[in-house]
Amino acid sequence: MVHTSPITRRRFLAGAGGLALAGGLTTARSFAQSGPEIARGGRFAQSVASGQPTTNGITLWTKLSELQRPGRMQFEVSTEPDFRSVLIRRSVTPDAARDFAITTRVESAKLRPSERYYYRFFTCDESSPVGRFRTARPADSQEPVRIAFFSCQDYESGF
């Protein structure tokens, strides 16, 4: 006796694959939404700063004021000032104990020695001014070094 089923093996595998994909998307969405929401409002009144360059890294800083809803914010690093091609996009959480200041270290193989990059921070509805930095030269570089120095008026607080 031959038993025929309305479901072929091909249809079964296609359906199982679709269910697995849907489950994966649900998991990815819930993972992306875990943690605090993106901050709303805020002003970047003190602009942005960068420092401590290495051949593939930089430290970025900003400070938010007048937040409507605390939460995380994002930053982007690009090779272009208009951010047509974003190399790095990450979320960071401002520190309420430090008046919502952010200091984040960015290390990435996408950053190349002695190259200029642009960066910005943003909340749901506000964007910081665009900053720029240059990664450090390779150790064997023969290019002359220029040094700049500045001191912050709030050095007693560790800034």
Query: Given this model, what pLDDT does residue 11 score?
Result: 64
Query: Given this model, what pLDDT does residue 108 score?
Result: 97
CATH of domain 40-138: 2.60.40.380
Query: Given this model, what pLDDT does residue 32 score?
Result: 45
Query: Given this model, what pLDDT does residue 154 score?
Result: 65
The answer to whether residues 118 and 132 touch, using CB atoms and an 8 Å cutoff, is: yes
Query: Given this model, what pLDDT does residue 37 score?
Result: 87
Residue segments in the chain with a per-residue pLDDT below the cut of 50: 21-33
Query: Given this model, what pLDDT does residue 80 score?
Result: 98
Query: Given this model, what pLDDT does residue 29 score?
Result: 38
Query: Given this model, what pLDDT does residue 31 score?
Result: 36
Task: Tell me the C-alpha to C-alpha distance, in Å, between residue 37 and each of 70, 93, 151.
Answer: 8, 10, 34
Element (H, E) at 74: strand 73-78
**Cα–chain center distance at 159:** 22
Task: Tell me the C-alpha to C-alpha distance, in Å, between residue 52 and each of 56, 57, 61, 134, 150.
Answer: 11, 8, 11, 10, 13
The answer to whether residues 17 and 42 touch, using CB atoms and an 8 Å cutoff, is: no
Cα–Cα distance measured from residue 44 to residue 127, given in angstroms and rounded to the nearest whole number: 8
Query: Given this model, what pLDDT does residue 122 score?
Result: 93
Q: What are the boundaries of each domain within the chain?
A: 9-36, 40-138
